[in-house]
Amino acid sequence: MTFVGKIFVIVIMAFALLFLGISTVVFTTHTNWKEETGKQKQKVTELDKQKTEIQAQLDAVSKDLEKAKTDHKTEKEALDKRVASLEEEIKRTQGESNAARTELEKAHQNAQTALAEADDRRKETDQLRNQKSAVEKQANEYKLQQTELNDKIRELERMNKSLDDITKDLRDRVARYSTKLRASGLSDDINTLRSIASPPTVQGEVAKVDATNRKVEITIGADDGLVPGHELYLYRVKPQPEFLGRIRVLSVDPDQAVGSVIGTTLNGKKIMEGDIVSSTLRPRS
């Protein structure tokens, strides 16, 4: 057998096996076509019935859909009106919102201004509080000083009362002394008394002597600063210096005065014209 013949034999055997397999499959899958046809007819009948029911449902759904479309259109028109109304309301609300925003900004600015003023008021209040504290402290110090002053016033009042009593006593004494001075022929004038206490530096001479050797007229007077009450020394320098005593001025004229011997002259010596009268024991050169 040729090589080609072998190939044909192998191909034939392959086809035989293929037909054998197909026959086996056909045999195993073989069914009763009559029964199957009946079953399929029954299925078709059921499907027709289901189709009828579905068609009915579809018609009902179509009616519902049409109604829904109508309702939707109506609702849409209502919604469009509502939208238009809402748009108008939104525009109005936006206008009100803008106005409110403007008012809010103004209120914010006013609030900031008010806060700044409040801060200034707070600072001013703090300053016033500090000033009040300082014033209260000063007032307390013044009260303390016033208390001290009241105490001093009471003390001064007591001292014043004591001084009044002393002044009254001194006035009584001055009155008595004045009475005695006037009774002695002396002036009670304070200036005169001061002059008597500090006589001027003067020197004169005895111009006349009375017969009792008690009164003398001297050559100095008011122009030289003498006033009644002044006391002068009496002495002579010739033939030898000697002290005679003292005299008290009784009356004065501008250029002369009259004096009285205080007590007695030394050793009862006679006063003579030309004897020296002076406010000092040392003769003036």
**Average pLDDT for runs of 10 along the chain of length 285:** 73 81 69 68 83 81 82 85 84 83 84 85 87 86 85 85 80 74 60 62 93 94 90 90 92 94 90 92 57
In angstroms, the CA 166 to CA 264 distance is 38
Contact 258, 215 (CB under 8 A): yes
CB neighbour list of residue 188: distance below 8 Å, 6 or more residues apart: 177, 178, 181, 182
Contact 188, 182 (CB under 8 A): yes
- Coil, strand, or helix at residue 234? strand
Contact 234, 277 (CB under 8 A): yes
| Of the candidates 259, 266, 226, the residue with the CA atom closest to the CA atom of residue 245 | 266
Tokens 């109005």, located at residue: 92
pLDDT of 61: 76
CA 153 to chain centre: 34
pLDDT of 4: 67
pTM: 0.37
Tokens 């609030």, located at residue: 111
- Coil, strand, or helix at residue 192? helix
In angstroms, the CA 232 to CA 218 distance is 11
pLDDT of 190: 57
Separation in Å, CA 263 to CA 4, 166, 177, 278: 213, 35, 21, 17
Q: Residue 207 corresponds to which tokens in the numbers above?
A: 């111009």
